[in-house]
Amino acid sequence: MDDATPISADRQKFYNRISPSSMAPLWEVLKGLVPEQPKSKFAPHVWKYADAKPLLLEAGKLLTAEEAERRVLLLENPAAPGASRITATMFAGYQLIMPGEIAPAHRHTASALRMVLEGNGGYTAVAGEKTTMQRGDLVITPSMAWHDHGQEDQKPCIWVDGLDIHMVNFHEAAFSDHFNDKTQMLSKPEGHSEAEFGTGLAPMTHRRPFGATSPIFNYSYAKTRPALMQVAVTDAPDAHLGNALRYVNPQDGGWAMPTIATWMTYLPKGFETRPMRSTDGQGLIVVEGEITFELDGKTHVAGESDVVAIPSWTNKKMRASKDAVVFTMSDRAAQEKLGFYREERK
Question: Among 130-144, 171-185, 298-312, whose mean pLDDT is lowest?
Answer: 171-185
pLDDT for residue 31 is more than 80: yes
DSSP string, 129-165: EEEE--TT-EEEE-TT--EEEEE-SSS-EEEEEEE-H
Question: Among 21-25, 40-44, 89-93, 151-155, whose mean pLDDT is lowest?
Answer: 151-155
pLDDT band at 218 (very low <50, low <70, confident <90, very high): very high
Domain assignments of the chain as residue spans, ordered by start:
37-345
pLDDT for residue 245 is more than 60: yes
Q: Is the dihedral of CA 305, 306, 307, 308 positive or negative?
A: negative
Coil, strand, or helix at residue 346?
coil
Residues 218-229, mean pLDDT to the nearest whole number: 98
d(Cα 12, Cα 54) in Å, to the nearest integer?
56
Q: How far is CA 45 from CA 73, 115, 248, 331, 344, in A?
A: 16, 19, 28, 17, 21
pLDDT for residue 3 is more than 60: no
Residues 194-222, mean pLDDT to the nearest whole number: 94
pLDDT band at 190 (very low <50, low <70, confident <90, very high): very high
pLDDT at 121: 87
DSSP string, 166-235: HHHHHTT---EEE-SSSSPPP-B-TTHHHHHHSSS---SS---TTTTS-S--EE-HHHHHHHHHHHHHHS
pLDDT for residue 242 is more than 80: yes
pLDDT band at 1 (very low <50, low <70, confident <90, very high): very low
Cα–Cα–Cα angle for 192, 194, 196, rounded to 5 degrees: 70
pLDDT band at 65 (very low <50, low <70, confident <90, very high): confident
Average pLDDT, the chain: 96
Q: What percent of the chain has pLDDT over 70?
A: 99
pTM: 0.95
pLDDT for residue 4 is more than 70: no
pLDDT band at 180 (very low <50, low <70, confident <90, very high): confident
pLDDT at 40: 96
271, 321 contact by CB (below 8 A): no
pLDDT band at 6 (very low <50, low <70, confident <90, very high): confident
Residues 322-330, mean pLDDT to the nearest whole number: 97
Other C-beta atoms lying within 10 Å of the C-beta of residue 39: 10
Homologous superfamily of domain range 37-345: Jelly Rolls (2.60.120.10)
pLDDT at 252: 94
Sheet with 316-320: strands ordered across: 298-302, 291-295, 316-320, 276-278, 343-345
Which 8-state DSSP code applies to residue 97?
Answer: E
104, 178 contact by CB (below 8 A): yes
pLDDT for residue 155 is more than 90: yes
pLDDT digits (tens, 9 = 90+) for 255-280: 999 999 999 999 999 999 999 999 99
